[in-house]
């Protein structure tokens, strides 16, 4: 028998239809787990190694450190690690999971999904009845999976069990200006009713278009083709129009007019942290253009000249950037910057980036400080697909509450970051050169040391002559 996380209820107004069920109460994120590899390169040292001006990566990109994987870790091992830890810390049995979906763009096979690899975690419990597979579109696959999980719980297909969504990627770039925007990490989320982070219903928006800003047409290489200027332009456009649609839906469904001031946390996709500040400026621009009586002597002083501009006109306008970064300076410091801690320390995690920001938000406040507040989330994936949605935080911050549980787990996840081992830029470069050689090669056996891996980390043992990949888990013990 599957243990249910709650019992679906029959709605008495269903005209006698026994299959009619109400929406479960407070569907959202019950718990969240974050994982990043145990080694990193320092961005300040990388600046010196690359011969660029001091601060180019730290200030210009907003990055401090960048996670590195050894040859023992791949996208399968990252997802295995974060999923197993989520279930262990949440105290749930493999039998209690009825939906599992993975969002990633780090592919090791053009046919076999990562979700099927994760099913080994459920084999001992003989639970093979788990819906969902993988979703791929650049950095947006995790959010698409998340939306699908929520839709499953709110549908007639839901059987009362939990859903798990896993987002993970290894971001690596060819030598050149994009290389310092790499990173690696994974996030797993447990979803169900009576959650501490509840999705606002009826406000989810999408903004999806055809664009070649970032894509991976070469199946023999991990490296993407990147049009840097177009990528920035697409991200700005998507943030502006997603928010515009969101404001309309929120007013219709919730009955409130929202602005930046309506939210306690701003959780944005962070390919590099500086880009999120630019997106915040465009969201404030949307607030400004929607304000029937903007105060040109107060908050919007100096903004008059931009009233008739379009967001497309502003993308590389330094005057606009300076003006609206100033307008949003307080919101950035209080609502956005605290959400960037993991992204600053780890770098780009593609699908996991936005949800590492959610972990950082939960870490940055006490349960009492965040209780009853709202979080605005903006997800972006090149190509391009984007979405904006919001979450309401539980009003119960008491000891032992679900809000305290998810808060404490977020703190524990991030506490491992200072325990990582620093590698030199030379070693980082060597690792990437080696990855180029063994990428999708078989048979293959990793040669790096296992000593650096955190306890409980899954790792690749070998790839056999048929390209089948095998994994073990490093024993659990105190660090």
What is the separation, in whole angstroms, between the first and last Cα of the chain? 37
Q: How many whole angstroms separate alpha carbon 389 and alpha carbon 375?
A: 9
Asked if 199 and 23 touch (Cβ cutoff 8 Å), the reply is no
Report the interhelical angle of 228-253 vs 273-290 (nearest 10°): 50
Query: DSSP readout, 80-103?
Result: HHHHHHHHHHHT--GGGEEEEEEE
Which token pair is 459?
Answer: 């790792």
Strand partners, 458: 473
CB atoms within 10 A of CB 62: 19
Q: 269, 303, 345, 357: which is the annotated catalytic residue? A: 269
Q: 33, 76, 79, 139: which is the annotated catalytic residue? A: 139
- Give the CA distances from residue 327 to residues 23, 260, 322, 349, 368, in Å, rounded to whole numbers and listed in that order: 40, 11, 9, 29, 28
Q: How many whole angstroms separate alpha carbon 349 and alpha carbon 93?
A: 28
Residue 269: active-site member? yes
Query: Side-chain half-sphere of 419: how many Cα atoms within 13 Å?
Result: 15
Report the interhelical angle of 273-290 vs 318-327 (nearest 10°): 80
Helix/strand number for the chain, H first, E second: 14, 17
Q: At 85, phi and psi to the nearest 5? A: -65, -40
| Enclosing H/E stretch for 29 | strand 28-35
Residue 5: active-site member? no
Q: 33, 96, 105, 345: which is the annotated catalytic residue? A: 105
Q: Which residues are catalytic?
A: 105, 139, 269
């Amino acid at each position: 028998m599957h243990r249910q996380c709650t019992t679906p209820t029959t709605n008495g107004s269903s005209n006698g239809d026994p299959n009619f069920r109400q929406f479960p109460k407070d569907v959202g994120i019950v718990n969240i787990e974050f994982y990043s590899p145990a080694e990193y390169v320092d961005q300040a040292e990388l600046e010196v190694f690359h011969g660029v001006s001091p601060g180019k990566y730290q200030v210009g990109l907003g990055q401090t450190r960048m996670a590195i994987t050894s040859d023992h870790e791949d996208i399968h091992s990252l997802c295995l690690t974060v999923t197993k830890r989520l279930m262990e810390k949440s105290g749930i049995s493999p039998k209690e999971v009825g939906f599992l979906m993975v969002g990633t763009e780090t592919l090791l096979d053009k046919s076999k999904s990562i979700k099927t690899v994760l099913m080994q975690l459920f084999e001992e419990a003989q639970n093979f009845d788990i819906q969902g597979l993988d979703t791929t579109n650049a950095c947006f696959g995790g959010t698409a999976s998340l939306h699908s999980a929520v839709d499953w719980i709110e549908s007639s297909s839901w059987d009362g069990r939990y859903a798990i969504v896993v987002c993970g990627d290894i971001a690596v770039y060819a030598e050149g200006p994009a290389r310092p925007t790499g990173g690696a990490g994974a996030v797993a989320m447990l979803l169900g009713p009576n959650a501490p982070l509840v999705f606002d219903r009826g406000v989810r928006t999408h903004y999806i278009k055809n664009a070649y800003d970032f894509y991976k047409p070469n199946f023999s290489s991990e490296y993407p083709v990147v049009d840097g200027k177009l990528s920035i332009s697409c991200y700005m456009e998507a943030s502006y129009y997603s928010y515009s649609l969101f404001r309309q839906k929120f007013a219709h469904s919730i009955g409130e007019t929202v602005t930046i001031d309506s939210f306690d946390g701003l959780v944005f996709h962070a390919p590099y942290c500086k880009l999120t500040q630019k997106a915040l400026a465009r969201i404030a621009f949307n607030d400004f253009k929607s304000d029937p009586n903007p105060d040109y002597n107060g908050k919007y002083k100096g903004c008059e000249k931009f009233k008739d501009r379009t967001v497309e006109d502003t993308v590389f306008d330094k005057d606009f950037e300076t003006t609206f970064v100033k307008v949003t300076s307080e919101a950035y410091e209080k609502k956005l910057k605290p959400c960037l801690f993991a992204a600053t320390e780890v770098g780009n995690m593609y699908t996991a980036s936005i949800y590492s920001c959610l972990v950082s938000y939960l870490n940055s406040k006490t349960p009492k400080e965040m209780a009853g507040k709202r979080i605005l989330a903006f997800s972006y994936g090149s190509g391009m697909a984007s979405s904006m949605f919001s979450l309401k935080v539980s009003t119960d911050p008491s000891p032992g509450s679900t809000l305290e549980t998810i808060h404490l787990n977020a703190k524990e996840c991030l506490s491992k970051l200072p325990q990582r081992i620093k590698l030199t830029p030379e070693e980082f470069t060597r690792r990437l050169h080696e990855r180029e050689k063994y990428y999708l090669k078989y048979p293959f056996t990793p040669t790096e040391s296992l000593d650096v891996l955190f306890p409980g980390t899954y790792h690749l043992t070998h790839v056999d002559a048929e390209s089948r990949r095998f994994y073990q888990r490093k024993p659990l013990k105190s660090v």
